[in-house]
Amino acid sequence: MQAPLDLLALLGDGAFHSGEALGRRLGISRAGVWKRVRALRAAGLVVHAVRGRGYRLDAPVEWLDAEAIEAAVPAAARRWLGGLEIHPVLDSTNAHLLERCGQGAANGTVCLAEMQRAGRGRRGRRWMSPPARNLYLSVLWRFETGLAALATLSVRLGLALAACLESQGVPGVRVKWPNDLVLGQRKAGGILVELRGEPCGPNCVVAGVGLNLGMPAGVDIDQPWTDLARAAVRPLSRNRLAGRVIGTLLACFAALQEDDAHPWYRDWPRYDALAGRRVRVHWPGRSLEGTALGIDPTGALRLRLVDGRVRRIASGEVSIRTTA
């Protein structure tokens, strides 16, 4: 995919460029340019072709910029930033940092990519990652504690990111337990938390975030989706938003490491996408239906069953039930 990204770099200004001029810049034939245009389209980008004028993107590209991103990290969180990597293409930002866990990467190391070839969501789902349009980033943090002390992390991250997006001019973001970010009933982002370590500690945690910032309309996704730009009250900068998201993740990690006693779960009702909804919780080979009642202090979903009993759900995949 590196070769089509070279073409994307030339088209990134959003202006028309002739096939002849592009070929000359890239050292390839016009047929080679057309082949790379098709590769960009296959990756989900909208590339217009007009006879006599050439090719252009549907919108200019804001490339990821380390200096701009770091400047956008809130000052209070910047002290936890252990390093910032930006890659043109990775299989997965999470996979990259999980490998770095064993290579001595510093606490607070952050990795971003313009594009992922094999982005992953929860339960092994593929995360669509077209180049230079959305945000794909991961943060590494080392904990001396065991797995039990990290039980709330995934839900806390989802809650904190919903509040972060609201502060950046995207109203209406809600969290579909445990940590999908939704607008209405359409997915706008997600979080994948992965660990390397021992049950009793220490553990290296990598939290990956994928946000649909300006998802191209032609991308094939197997669930209802939307992007943040559609709901934003003002234009969103990829670099500024990346910095704010990174700061939010670092602050969450630091608070958990310091055993922050703040009752974070009290903010859940404000951002709860499932409150009072009929839902089905899925596990391999079985499922359970009930009414979502929010979460408890451990981050578990509270589910009222048909017989009135309330079950605590620590993990599972949730779908919203439609009424007949």
Positions marked active-site: 122, 187, 321
In 54-82, which positions are buried (b, 16+ CB within 10 angstroms) versus exposed (e)?
bbbbeeebbebeeebbbebbeeebbebbe
Overall residue count recorded for the chain in this entry: 324
Which of 158, 168, 149 minimizes the C-alpha distance to 189?
158
Cα angle 173, 225, 272 (rounded to 5 degrees) comes to 30
Residue bearing tokens 């578990």: 300
Strands annotated E in 120-179: 135-143, 173-176
- Which sign does the torsion angle of CA 61, 89, 182, 83 carry? negative
Residue 109 tokens read as 């190391």
